[in-house]
Structure 1
Amino acid sequence: MTYDIKRGVSLYSYQNDTFDGTLTRDDCIRISCELGANGIEVIGEQSFWGWPECGVNEADVAAWHESMKRYGGVGVSHDFMLDYKRYKGRPMPFDEQVASVKKDIDFGAMLGVKFIRALVSITPEVLVAAAPYAEEKGIKILIEVHAPLHFDHPWIIRHAEAFEKSGSDALGFLPDMGMFVFKFPNVWKEKFMRLGVPKNIADYIEKAYEDRVLSEYVILDVREMGGTGPAIAMAETLRHNAAFEPKRMLDYMHRIHNIHGKFYEMTEDYVEPSIPYDEIVKVLKQGGYKGYICSEYEGNRWIEDVEEPNSVEQVRRQQVMLARLLGETETPALKTPLAA
């Protein structure tokens, strides 16, 4: 059966495993496809050694295509990094920024993906200038709408207005579901407590987040409670994260072509406690979204001080949750045992 909303995985989810050599890129593609999440999203720097500094390794790109063919993968997006403020110790001029984006468009075309992800820091003028080239290559450039930004933020509105004025279909958005953190993640709280945050302060910050108390007030209150160091850092996470409304995606759905299924923890009963995926999927269905939701596991960094992250199991659990929310009848499961 074909579903309008499709399941995928950002290989960023397996960053610990690829860094320590536990999983190869081929392993990551196989695991994802076995789970029925055949939409594959990559970060070039993670999955292709030497990119972009050393250019394209044609054998590596050929191996990517072989893996995708072998397991039935579909290339969704290449997430590129343009840190133009710190390029070789100097700001990157406008023309160089555009040329850099075009280089990533070429790389995305080589990988056979339909989209490339742009960091939210890139100005709309750069993307508009690169759009005609993206159109020629059959690529869409999607700016990631990532917390603390959201669809009512002036910077995102500025992009939306520029995209519409350009008239180009090659410009769009990639919402990150980290915009919709309705509850303070358990793994965050536990990590801060291991760093020395007293339980009463951690409990206060958690409750203040759920009550949507202004972050600056929370930071001030924590100071007055005697909090220092890690306690202040925990309070400061409220500056970056917020519970924006999933329904705000509806006004931009015509330019939303990929979704980052951010998650920090999947419980044994297939629930992400901090992000309301049931509401998110309802909104996407209402808006007629037909693209991929790509798992993006970021809970690893919050637990690796006390345990080895099991990224594969966490991705599996989210894929089970997504399959259920999408009305699929089969439960995603791995078919090939992982090597010991």
Structure 2
Amino acid sequence: MKPINYARATDVTSAIATVSADPTRAFLAGGTTEIDLLRQGVVAPSGLVDINDLPLKQIENLADGGLRIGALARMSEVAEAPSVVEQFPMISQALVLGASAQLRHMASMGGNMLQRVRCSYFRNLSSPCNKREPGSGCAAMDGFNRGHAILGTSEQCIATHPSDVAVALIALDAIIHVDGPNGERAIAIDDFFLLPGVTPHHEHPLEHGELIVAIEVPALPMARQSLYIKIRDRSSYEFALVSVAVAIELDGNIIRDVRLAVGGIATKPWRARRAEQILLGASAEQTNFARAAHEELSAAVPRQFNAFKVELAERSIVRALETISTMGGKA
């Protein structure tokens, strides 16, 4: 790892100014991903601006029943916050299942939104990767792609988005608040994560020097009985083969509202909007769950080693819907 400059920021304005002044500088929060990439030579910033002293650690209940989470709040703090556990259990569950206890104590919520893909070809400098070196190709296309995406892919990239909590947040229509050289702005979370298309190296709409300052979760009464499930190769810390975040509101046995998102199978946290449309107004029964899941996966583009994810995802969606329905689904 080559030597880099290090600075410690004490306020948001100076942090943004320091990073903005040099296109090769970057922010440093928990560092649970960034330091690994530095050691591997995947990224090579000229300097890091440590933002851990910034006042962005709050977990705030909003007057309308929503939640505002500071970008530097640690995953463990958010997972254990009573307001999160009570009002948005899918967020708490996704955070606990998303990393080991040691990582949860270090990793920040803003950093989680910006974590890079875990594709082995992205991290192997001898392999072509369009995310790491645009135009070089994608080794995963014809390589060992068991863990790769089947939704939202392109001919340029099939890397799976690694975040667990982002799946829950996209189901809840969270909003990412950022600050930067041109001021503050709010970005809907579904717009924050970009599909690879022909520019897989552009993963977010952030300009250089823009900093995530908070994540806002709108009020959603039915989220009190929400659920996050994760299917993985081993029960200890591991990335998802498939994960599902779901909240449902029932009127008797009729689905009046539903939020559904899937992880582990797409190039971004995947809001299952096709499935949601089928489920709205339908009865909460296995045949409808299976039909909605099958329709959502109809756009899948499986590769040689990850074709099993189609059926696994369908079964996981059905399982999550059946589980949440038995909880009552009442807001």
TM-score category (smaller protein): under 0.3
TM-score w.r.t. the length of structure 2 is 0.24
Q: Which has the higher contact order (CA 8 A, sep 6+)?
A: 1
TM-score w.r.t. the length of structure 1 is 0.24
Give the strand-richer structure, 1 or 2: 2
